[in-house]
Chains A and B, each alone.
Chain A
């Protein structure tokens, strides 16, 4: 009985987090801010649903596979977010108009000196 209640709470909260992630994906103003909603809350919603799956089938193999799926989701979400964020920044998407800090804007061309080492990237002060 307790296991059923815990499973139901985890399942519904995972669904709610996934829905909030999708609403944030639709409503937030900027790609970088949208990535915050998409990756973090998406992984949280999926993780809660897999945890409820691990609570529902309490045998060893299914629970271990569900926990492995949670671990894999938590491992791959930051990698994908980093790659998409770097691609978006390097392709010069429009940032939000209230963005007040952009640390690579005036330093040097950060994206084109990725493969060449930092020594060719001199800060010009005029």
Chain B
């Protein structure tokens, strides 16, 4: 708490940090209950974006500029992880066979036989 002079900024940073923590908790609920793996992937993507925002808010709250660099590096790594998970999900969908169509998605597939 070195660089925090005013009371207004401290209160705003605390409100923002509390809101971001609640947002991470809500996204974690979706991560647990998500019915499809793609739901879990977008929940992880949202959690990583929220952690980047948390690092930005914490850089204001603590008066330490280095958390900005941590946030940029984390955003890079999280983007790579999201891309890798999405490619993995797509490959899993292609490998899982063209058999099942469940529920609302009734697609007519022509088989090449």
A22 and B46: CB pair below 8 A? yes
Q: What 1/0 mask marks residues of chain B from 77 to 88 whose CB sits below 8 Å from any chain A CB?
A: 001001100110
How many of chain A's residues touch chain B, expressed as a range?
35 or more
How many of chain B's residues touch chain A, expressed as a range?
35 or more
Q: What 1/0 mask marks residues of chain B from 1 to 34 whose CB sits below 8 Å from any chain A CB?
A: 0000010110111011111101110110110000
Closest to B93 in A: A91
Within 8 A of A (CB), among B80-113: 82-83, 86-87, 89-90, 92-94, 96, 98, 100-110
Within 8 Å CB of A12, what residues of B? 12, 15-16, 19
Q: Which of B76, B79, B98 has the most CB of A within 10 A?
A: B79
Bound Cα distance A19, B76 (Å)? 22
Bound Cα distance A94, B103 (Å)? 7
B20 and A18: CB pair below 8 A? yes
Within 8 Å CB of B19, what residues of A? 12, 15-16, 18-19
Closest to B56 in A: A49
B50 and A42: CB pair below 8 A? yes
A22 and B22: CB pair below 8 A? yes
A95 interface residue (CB < 8 Å to B): yes
A90 → chain B closest CB, angstroms: 5
Given A8-B8, A25-B30, A84-B86, also A93-B38 (CB < 8 A)? yes
Closest to B106 in A: A105
A37 → chain B closest CB, angstroms: 8
CB < 8 Å neighbour of B90 from A52, A72, A77, A86: A86
A46 and B52: CB pair below 8 A? yes
Within 8 Å CB of B16, what residues of A? 11-12, 14-15, 49
Closest to A80 in B: B82
A58 interface residue (CB < 8 Å to B): no
Within 8 A of A (CB), among B36-77: 36, 38-39, 41-43, 45-46, 49-50, 52-53, 56-57, 59-60, 65, 68-69, 71-72, 75-76
